[in-house]
Amino acid sequence: MTGAVTETTLRAAPQTEAVEYARRLAARTMRTWALLDREELVTAIVAELVANAVRHAGTALELRLQRINGRVRVEVRDRASQLPRLTVPGPLDESHRGLFIVDRFATAWGAEPVTGGKVVWAEVAL
Protein backbone atom coordinates (compact mmCIF):
# COMPACT_ATOMS: atom_id res chain seq x y z
CA MET A 1 0.00 0.00 0.00
CA THR A 2 2.41 2.67 -1.13
CA GLY A 3 1.24 6.24 -1.04
CA ALA A 4 -2.40 5.30 -0.44
CA VAL A 5 -4.58 7.54 1.68
CA THR A 6 -5.05 6.05 5.13
CA GLU A 7 -7.79 8.39 6.31
CA THR A 8 -10.96 9.77 4.79
CA THR A 9 -13.67 12.04 6.19
CA LEU A 10 -17.26 12.97 5.38
CA ARG A 11 -19.20 15.83 6.97
CA ALA A 12 -22.96 15.65 6.64
CA ALA A 13 -26.22 17.19 7.77
CA PRO A 14 -28.48 15.00 9.94
CA GLN A 15 -30.59 13.72 7.03
CA THR A 16 -31.34 10.18 5.94
CA GLU A 17 -29.31 10.73 2.74
CA ALA A 18 -26.20 10.95 4.93
CA VAL A 19 -26.44 7.19 5.51
CA GLU A 20 -26.21 6.42 1.78
CA TYR A 21 -23.38 8.93 1.24
CA ALA A 22 -21.49 7.36 4.13
CA ARG A 23 -22.03 3.81 2.83
CA ARG A 24 -20.76 4.77 -0.62
CA LEU A 25 -17.71 6.50 0.83
CA ALA A 26 -16.94 3.48 3.02
CA ALA A 27 -17.27 1.06 0.09
CA ARG A 28 -15.09 3.22 -2.15
CA THR A 29 -12.51 3.63 0.60
CA MET A 30 -12.33 -0.10 1.30
CA ARG A 31 -11.79 -0.74 -2.42
CA THR A 32 -9.09 1.95 -2.58
CA TRP A 33 -7.38 0.32 0.39
CA ALA A 34 -7.75 -3.12 -1.31
CA LEU A 35 -9.73 -4.46 1.66
CA LEU A 36 -12.61 -6.08 -0.23
CA ASP A 37 -12.86 -8.90 2.32
CA ARG A 38 -13.81 -6.34 5.00
CA GLU A 39 -15.97 -4.04 2.86
CA GLU A 40 -19.31 -5.54 3.91
CA LEU A 41 -18.49 -5.40 7.63
CA VAL A 42 -17.20 -1.83 7.49
CA THR A 43 -20.05 -0.48 5.34
CA ALA A 44 -22.63 -2.10 7.66
CA ILE A 45 -20.97 -0.52 10.71
CA VAL A 46 -20.75 2.87 8.98
CA ALA A 47 -24.43 2.73 8.00
CA GLU A 48 -25.55 1.86 11.54
CA LEU A 49 -23.40 4.49 13.29
CA VAL A 50 -24.40 7.25 10.85
CA ALA A 51 -28.08 6.24 11.02
CA ASN A 52 -27.89 6.38 14.84
CA ALA A 53 -26.34 9.85 14.70
CA VAL A 54 -29.04 11.07 12.29
CA ARG A 55 -31.88 9.50 14.31
CA HIS A 56 -30.77 10.16 17.86
CA ALA A 57 -28.41 13.15 17.79
CA GLY A 58 -30.02 15.11 14.97
CA THR A 59 -26.95 17.34 14.63
CA ALA A 60 -24.30 17.81 11.99
CA LEU A 61 -22.05 14.77 11.97
CA GLU A 62 -18.63 13.73 10.81
CA LEU A 63 -17.62 10.27 9.65
CA ARG A 64 -13.95 9.37 9.72
CA LEU A 65 -12.39 6.17 8.40
CA GLN A 66 -8.81 5.36 9.30
CA ARG A 67 -6.55 2.47 8.48
CA ILE A 68 -4.17 2.07 11.41
CA ASN A 69 -1.96 -0.80 12.58
CA GLY A 70 -3.85 -3.72 11.09
CA ARG A 71 -7.36 -2.40 11.60
CA VAL A 72 -9.93 -0.07 10.14
CA ARG A 73 -11.35 2.44 12.61
CA VAL A 74 -14.73 4.04 11.99
CA GLU A 75 -15.58 7.18 13.99
CA VAL A 76 -18.82 9.13 13.91
CA ARG A 77 -18.81 12.41 15.77
CA ASP A 78 -21.95 14.40 16.49
CA ARG A 79 -22.91 17.30 18.73
CA ALA A 80 -25.17 15.43 21.14
CA SER A 81 -23.80 14.52 24.57
CA GLN A 82 -26.01 11.45 25.18
CA LEU A 83 -23.86 8.31 24.88
CA PRO A 84 -25.39 5.30 23.09
CA ARG A 85 -26.43 2.16 24.95
CA LEU A 86 -26.35 -1.36 23.58
CA THR A 87 -29.76 -3.03 23.81
CA VAL A 88 -30.45 -6.57 22.70
CA PRO A 89 -33.46 -6.47 20.40
CA GLY A 90 -36.24 -8.99 20.74
CA PRO A 91 -37.07 -11.13 17.69
CA LEU A 92 -39.96 -8.84 16.72
CA ASP A 93 -38.23 -5.50 17.43
CA GLU A 94 -37.88 -3.43 14.30
CA SER A 95 -35.61 -0.88 15.91
CA HIS A 96 -32.78 -0.89 18.48
CA ARG A 97 -30.65 -3.05 16.17
CA GLY A 98 -27.92 -0.52 15.28
CA LEU A 99 -25.44 -1.07 18.09
CA PHE A 100 -26.34 -4.76 18.26
CA ILE A 101 -25.15 -5.06 14.63
CA VAL A 102 -22.05 -2.97 15.36
CA ASP A 103 -21.29 -5.15 18.39
CA ARG A 104 -21.54 -8.30 16.23
CA PHE A 105 -19.42 -7.01 13.32
CA ALA A 106 -16.75 -4.95 15.07
CA THR A 107 -13.66 -6.28 16.80
CA ALA A 108 -14.15 -3.49 19.37
CA TRP A 109 -16.38 -0.42 19.73
CA GLY A 110 -17.18 2.32 22.18
CA ALA A 111 -18.28 5.90 22.72
CA GLU A 112 -16.47 8.83 24.27
CA PRO A 113 -17.61 12.30 25.27
CA VAL A 114 -15.63 15.01 23.50
CA THR A 115 -15.83 18.78 23.63
CA GLY A 116 -19.10 19.73 21.94
CA GLY A 117 -20.54 16.22 21.68
CA LYS A 118 -19.36 12.63 21.40
CA VAL A 119 -17.52 10.17 19.18
CA VAL A 120 -18.87 6.68 18.64
CA TRP A 121 -16.20 4.39 17.19
CA ALA A 122 -15.79 0.84 16.00
CA GLU A 123 -12.81 -1.12 14.77
CA VAL A 124 -12.51 -4.06 12.40
CA ALA A 125 -9.31 -6.11 12.51
CA LEU A 126 -7.67 -6.83 9.16
Identify whether the C-beta of residue 54 lies closer than 8 Å to the C-beta of residue 111: no
Residue 89 and residue 49: Cα distance in Å, rounded? 16
Domains belonging to the chain, first-starting first, are 7-125 (3.30.565.10)
pTM of the model: 0.90
Side-chain-side CA neighbours of 101 within 13 Å: the count stands at: 18
Whether residue 4 is predicted with pLDDT greater than 80 in this model: the reply is no
Q: For residues 81 and 28, is the Cβ–Cβ distance under 8 A?
A: no
Cα–Cα dist 105/117, whole Å:
25
pLDDT exceeds cutoff 90 at 80: yes
The side-by-side arrangement of strands in the sheet containing 7-12 is 7-12, 61-68, 71-78, 117-125, 108-114
What's the pLDDT at 5? 57
What tens digit of pLDDT does each residue of 34-77 get? 999 999 999 999 999 999 999 999 999 999 999 998 999 999 99
pLDDT greater than 60 at residue 3: no
Quote the CA–CA distance of 16 and 79 in Å, as a whole number.
Answer: 17
CA distance 89 to 124: 23
Give the integer Cα–Cα distance in Å for 123 and 78.
18
- Average pLDDT of the segment spanning 95-106: 85
